[in-house]
Amino acid sequence: MKSLAYNLLGNVPDAEDAVQEAFVRAYRSRDAFRQGATLYTWVCRILINTCYDIGRRRGARRDDGVLDANRAAERPASTADHPLRLTLERAVRQLAPIYREVFLLCEVEGYTHREVGAILDIPEGTSKARLFEARRQLREVIGPVKTIES
């Protein structure tokens, strides 16, 4: 959950605030939790909404999705580094929210389309279509960058 919040907000303090806020919100509205739904997907959905709220409140802190120098120092270690990671992070921030959240949930966090559908309250097919579109847009953005970097 921290990883998802980090990729949505771009820094550790905001990510931790979002996780904390999401759990408090989930606890407050625990009566609204539907039996049959997965607790994790429900909390995850609250987390995504919380991240958007925090992002809106602190939006002025960032400049076009690029972290400022102070925040960059707060980057946690990546679980598996990759030469294209930084480029991809920038590209993902440029995606529209509906594509970004599906890409992060599927490709980064490793959820299935069924789980993503449950988290975002969308059909499985829509999740697949959004991931396809997200990949297409990312390839478009990263392709030329990669050529320059290489």
Which residues here bind another protein, judged by CB under 8 A?
Answer: 2-3, 6-7, 12, 16, 19-20, 23-24, 27-28, 75-82, 84-85, 87-89, 92, 103-104, 107-110, 135, 138-139, 142-143, 146
HSE toward the beta carbon, residue 35, CA cutoff 13 A: 0
Residue 12 or 122 having the CB closest to another protein: 12
The CA distance from 33 to 71, in Å, is: 35
Nearest distance in Å: CB 76, another protein = 4
The first and second tokens of residue 81, run together, are 């580094």
Burial of 118 (0-12, 13-18, 19+ CB in 10 A): buried
Amino acid at 57: R
Asked if 18 contacts 3 with a C-beta cutoff of 8 angstroms, the reply is no
Asked if 140 contacts 94 with a C-beta cutoff of 8 angstroms, the reply is no
Residue 67 or 138 having the CB closest to another protein: 138
The first and second tokens of residue 111, run together, are 């959820």
Residue 36 or 144 having the CB closest to another protein: 144
Nearest distance in Å: CB 107, another protein = 4
Residue 60 or 148 having the CB closest to another protein: 148
Residue 98 or 108 having the CB closest to another protein: 108
The first and second tokens of residue 35, run together, are 């039996």
